[in-house]
Structure 1
Amino acid sequence: MRTDPVPSHTGCVTDPTSRALKLLSLLGHRPVWPGPVLAAELGVTPRTLRRDVDRLRNLGYTVDAEPGQGGGYALRRGQALPALSLDEDEALAVNVALAAAAGYLTDAHAGQRALAKIDAVLPPAARARAQETRAATDLSGAGMAVDSAILAACADGTRRRRRLRFSYVDRRGRHSERWVEPHQVSCRGQVWYLAAYDVAREAWRSFRLDRMAEVRVGDWVFRRRPDAAEALERTLDPVPLEAYEHEVVLHVRCPIESAPDFMTWDGAILRELEPGLCEYVTGTDDPEEAASWLTGIEYEFTVIENPEVREALAELGERLLRAAGGARREV
């Protein structure tokens, strides 16, 4: 992979080889480029552009040219391109995206290896900028980690319209085997979901990828169901609070406009009781899990409901206090 050379002050790339790489990159971004627009993008004359196009053709690339209004230059599809060409801003975007993706995958080292390979071929200035940006950006809470193999299998089944088989554990801890027609993979809040038609249950369902295992892409090709669009809209609806085993009610000491975004996710209720005091209502199936994420709330809060969550939070507090050697901070 190469990064594009820095243009001169006139906006053109003066080195013919570097300009050819830039031209190849631009041709890959659009199906057709009008000649004057492409010449202006490169900062060269139409005559120089024609020479650069001929240079690509001599290298074995098929560049079609259609004269007249509505015509232009087009790189014929299906050709092998040289090492990926990125400018400095594009390289930075890829760096940030890979760093964020590492938070979504159980194999975070895959993203780190990719970042190391990109860093190795960046010019010193671009590499320093990318590394400084990563160091200054906290992406540790980007999302719940998901197995990359499960994500890839779900995406593959969705793309090729192949039925999937997998083991699943629902929010009550019940295990089941599923046979589904996958239609959409999405990330909402911090969780990855698969929207699919459950063949055995003859109903649309939404499955959390972190609760799936042994995902297998089958050979059965399915047709998109007539009600798919409407059903996919429904799967985006938040889980109703009554679906959870435990309702959790907190009083949080913060202005409602400063409340964390997650307090409005997945059907939760957030309302202002008085200036500086909010009531937050949500649900959970696991009091210990709820106690864990409640410690991430940066404001003072009181658990109003329920007793199981309050007890789990107290036990977690005692564990943390023991971990700190029993030390209590003076107030």
Structure 2
Amino acid sequence: MLETSARLLRLLSLLQAHREWSGTDLADHLGVSPRTVRRDVDRLRELGYPVNASPGTGGGYQLGAGAELPPLLLDDDEAVAVAVGLRTAAGQGVEGIGETSVRALAKLEQVLPNRLRRRVGALNAFTVPMLSGPGPSAVDPNVLTELANLCRDGERLRFGYRGHDGTESRRSVEPYRLVCSERRWYLVAFDLDRADWRTFRVDRVTPKPPHGPRFVPREPPAEDLAAYVSEGVSTRAYATHAVVRLLVSREEAAERISPTAGVLEEEGPDTCLLRTGAGGLDVMVVHLMMLGFDFEVLEPAGLTEAIRTGRDRLTRALCRSERPGADDGNL
């Protein structure tokens, strides 16, 4: 009986780990016959787990959605990650998730072993989230879940999109991944109408079902999707691009420059490269000055002239301000 129970738990863990399994693959992983797999699947169904089965050579088993939520199997690291994630979810820009997170966390902590409860407590007690100013527009959690499911299942997504200038458009894409940065969510997807990869802010997405059909995922636009999104929102989205050398280490620069403000590349112990964008050269000058670091312009050449023009303008303003009687308004 103990052996059968352990095998059922192992089978459930396999079904939760992947979207679909063939009967042969499950039998190989469990070291049993396909007939035993079928019997174990029936036992899981009796316990309330909705295991779907499709016949034929291309068929298999899939853990489906049921009327009630059955118990989940989590290993130690997964349980800690879920508990910590629930505690911090309220600050991640997902609308209405705070109260729900508290309820879910209460249920989870009730069954956590003491060793895991101590790990979760330590992480939360000695971790302080840094939230800078008012957050961006909250993301509808239903939309976020819908996009995540489409990415997982490889189904085409149709949606309405509101651009940064307020213009509305209809899009048809092959969704690939969701990326979260600074309490804002982005969807990385292949835009079928534009035949290229695009990054969309999720709070501007309005899904327009029905979705589909299924598709075979393409090669992603970059191995590091977080860096790809960072470059997209900080550089590619702007008309003017620049590369400058900051005279500080990458670690020091990263403390003040967020991934949405530019992409940092390590160059040496005391310097790093910053790739960033702006609406124009004059705006770029202001952007770089506000960073608070000494820098050297590498490109474009026109940025150096824009800095020189700004310097001359500031010098003239300073000279006027320092004239005798300037404090009286007699300029």
TM-score, normalization: structure 1? 0.52
Counterparts of 1:120 and 1:303 in 2: how far apart (Å)? Answer: 53
Q: Is the 8 A contact 1:264 1:270 kept in 2?
A: no
Counterparts of 1:197 and 1:276 in 2: how far apart (Å)? Answer: 40
Structure 1 residue aligned with 2:30: 33
Asked whether 1:155 is paired with 2:148, we answer yes
Once the two structures are superposed, what CA deviation does each residue of 1:237-275 show, in whole Å capped at 9, x if it has no partner? 544947514556766442356553977889746575x96
Percent sequence identity is 23
Counterparts of 2:156 and 2:92 in 1: how far apart (Å)? Answer: 24
Asked whether 1:283 is paired with 2:277, we answer yes
Structure 1 residue aligned with 2:200: 208
2:94 corresponds, among 75, 96, 106, to 106
Structure 2 residue aligned with 1:93: 81
Q: Cα RMSD between the aligned structures?
A: 5.3
Asked whether 1:195 is paired with 2:179, we answer no
The CA deviation at 1:222 is: 3.5
Q: Is the 8 A contact 1:250 1:281 kept in 2?
A: yes
Q: Is the 8 A contact 1:162 1:220 kept in 2?
A: yes
Query: In the superposition, relative to structure 1, how do residues 93 and 164 fare at CA in structure 2: closer, same or farther (>3 Å)?
Result: same
Q: Is the 8 A contact 1:263 1:269 kept in 2?
A: no
SS of aligned partner of 1:29: helix
Structure 2 residue aligned with 1:121: 111
Larger CA deviation: 173-182 vs 81-90: 81-90
Counterparts of 1:253 and 1:99 in 2: how far apart (Å)? Answer: 38
The CA deviation at 1:132 is: 1.7
Structure 2 residue aligned with 1:315: none
Structure 2 residue aligned with 1:323: none
Residue type of the alignment partner of 1:28: L
Q: Is the 8 A contact 2:80 2:119 kept in 1?
A: yes
SS of aligned partner of 2:13: coil
Asked whether 1:130 is paired with 2:139, we answer no
Structure 2 residue aligned with 1:224: 215
- The structure, 1 or 2, with the larger RCO (C-alpha pairs under 8 Å, 6+ apart) is 1
Query: In the superposition, relative to structure 1, how do residues 138 and 81 fare at CA in structure 2: closer, same or farther (>3 Å)?
Result: same
Once the two structures are superposed, what CA deviation does each residue of 1:296-330 show, in whole Å capped at 9, x if it has no partner? x7xx52478778xx9xxxxxxxxxxxxxxxxxxxx
Query: In the superposition, relative to structure 1, how do residues 264 and 106 fare at CA in structure 2: closer, same or farther (>3 Å)?
Result: closer
TM-score, normalization: structure 2? 0.52
SS of aligned partner of 1:132: helix
The CA deviation at 1:184 is: 1.4
Counterparts of 1:194 and 1:222 in 2: how far apart (Å)? Answer: 18
Runs of 5+ unmatched residues, structure 2: 15-25, 33-38, 49-60, 297-302, 311-331
Counterparts of 2:149 and 2:44 in 1: how far apart (Å)? Answer: 38
Alignment of 1:319-330 (within 5 A): none
Q: Is the 8 A contact 1:104 1:146 kept in 2?
A: no
Once the two structures are superposed, what CA deviation does each residue of 1:162-186 show, in whole Å capped at 9, x if it has no partner? 441213214xx24122231333133
The CA deviation at 1:195 is: 0.7
Counterparts of 1:104 and 1:137 in 2: how far apart (Å)? Answer: 15
SS of aligned partner of 1:219: coil
Structure 2 residue aligned with 1:83: 71
Counterparts of 2:176 and 2:117 in 1: how far apart (Å)? Answer: 36
Structure 2 residue aligned with 1:168: 162
